[in-house]
Amino acid sequence: MSLSKQDREQRRAPLHAAVTGYVRRAPAVFHVPGHRQGRAAPAALRRLLGSGLCADLTEAPGLDDLHAPSGAIERAHRLLARAFGAGASFFLVGGTTAGIQALLLAAGPPGSRVVVPRHSHRSVLAGLVLAGHEPVYVRPTYDPDLDLPLGVPPASVDQSLAACPEAVAVLAVHPTYHGVPAQVAELAAVAHRHGVPLLVDEAHGAHFAFHPALPEAALAAGADASVQSLHKTGGSLTQSSVLHLAAGSPLPPDRVRELLALVQSSSPSYLLMVSLDLARRHLALHGRARWERALETAARVRRAVGRIRGLRVPEVPGGDPTRIIVDVRGRKLSGPQAARALWRRGVAVELAGPGYVLLVVGPGTGRDDVARLLAALADLPEGRRAPQRLGEPPWPQVALPPRAALLGPRRRLPLRDARGEVAAEAVIPYPPGIPAVAPGEVLTPEVLEYLARLRRVGAHLQGAADPRLETIAVVDQGDACRPGS
């Protein structure tokens, strides 16, 4: 079968070609980086990365400029957009976090309101702080059995926009860390009916466009912009992501590029960008076949795990079948206990929830990996008691915009004495990176009890300066505003 002109163009990797050509042409370099294509790098780093250090370059003749592209990077961006069905696409060297921040900055002037699911990643909170926006939170549905958030009902977003007509955008999470998709088409219809764009955090869905058995990609479903962690499921290096704007998106590409330059490094990694160029080419040419094999592997794992005594594989309707939740409560184990036991057998999982572990299957998952996993799961020990559930996080009482709370005056209190105070820092169990408390939210008794449960289950916490959460930063409102004064 002959390839179309567009398919033939996807064989190209213009930035990779430019970098390899530069390395061949310029054996004597008198510019940064200081390791001089690896020659001055520490020996251990040379052994680790080998010839890849030659591609760790800076802006040099023929290598273009990420922040004002007109050559190889511009051509690579065009190929990226075509491969993903976008009107315009951009390389990100600051991860999906940088893309989310740029989109929120582009959504409206400081002080704008944005409709945001409460189970959004910490990168959304960072974007709200940088942009000075106020979140209009929407409650996701919740699975009380597995202790995980699901999608946001479009009707709830419609109600929020009706109650807040000044909102400038809607943000959606598609999919969640656990592979739960959003109803993107319905959310896009709601947002557009209210005259605002739908922005999508698609960090875990970069592969969706390359196989029909996967959930529909956000742009194909009507989103105006999406940001994807190509490193998670697309084969590029960690920290490399992409931002897509739909054709006709209300966010102008030039404006988005300008704001990306604000939040990204002025010395972008060519290793990261070359990996994006090559990952795009590989997905465009081989993505369907590669993800067909991954789906077959995931189905085989699901069937086999379901036959192991005491384990269960719950289904997520319409979800990403390559994300596999293994419920270990039938062995009276907690998720962290199971993860530690698996690690001792040489098996590393993506994350551990209260009563489950999450597996991510991809094109690189081999038969030996599956055999080791199944043997380790079958050998899980029997625990002594069922794990404690966290329960749904309390619905927040927002007292201040996140920016005002995070950057304003603060003081530190013992957590037990913080009742009624306004949080000045975030408390974020990681993974999955969803804030349990965001700056500007009231520390109600329910919130304090939820934080205590996080401590009891040994959750790894980010955001808070005190990782043990014995103390917490609160907004210093003056003596007259303090409880009991």
Cα–Cα dist 423/348, whole Å:
34
Do 287 and 244 meet the contact criterion of CB atoms below 8 Å apart?
no
- pLDDT confidence of residue 5: 66
Strands 169-173 and 113-117: parallel
Give the pair of three-digit tokens for residue 41.
């790098």
C-alpha dist (Å) from residue 483 to 365, 415, 463, 478: 55, 14, 25, 10
- pLDDT confidence of residue 26: 74
CATH topology (fold) of 288-378: Aspartate Aminotransferase, domain 1 (3.90.1150)
Convert the pLDDT of each residue in 326-369 to its tens digit. 999 999 999 999 999 999 999 999 999 889 999 999 999 999 99
- pLDDT confidence of residue 84: 98
Considering only the top CATH level, what class is 5-285? alpha beta
What are 473's strand-pairing partners?
Answer: 412
- pLDDT confidence of residue 475: 97
Residue range(s) occupied by CATH 3.90.100.10 in the chain: 402-481
Q: Mean pLDDT, the chain, as a whole number?
A: 93
Residue range(s) occupied by CATH 3.40.640.10 in the chain: 5-285
Cα–Cα dist 113/147, whole Å:
29
- pLDDT confidence of residue 483: 45
Cα–Cα dist 32/268, whole Å:
12
Tell me: pLDDT of 426 over 60.
Answer: yes
Q: Report the predicted TM-score, pTM, of the whole model to 2 decimal places.
A: 0.93
Nearest to 16 by CA among 276, 200, 404: 276
Do 296 and 289 meet the contact criterion of CB atoms below 8 Å apart?
no
Binned at pLDDT 50, 70 and 90, residue 6 comes out as low
**Residue 296: how many CB atoms within 10 A of its CB?**
11
Residue range(s) occupied by CATH 3.90.1150.10 in the chain: 288-378
Cα–Cα dist 412/137, whole Å:
26
Q: Which CATH number fits domain 402-481: 1.10.540.10, 3.30.40.230, 3.40.50.720, 3.90.100.10?
A: 3.90.100.10
Binned at pLDDT 50, 70 and 90, residue 446 comes out as very high
Binned at pLDDT 50, 70 and 90, residue 229 comes out as very high
Q: Return the minimum-mean-pLDDT range out of 97-106, 153-162, 277-286, 392-401.
A: 392-401
Task: Give the CA count within 13 Å in the CB-facing half-sphere of 479.
Answer: 1
The whole-number average pLDDT for the span 233-252 is: 97
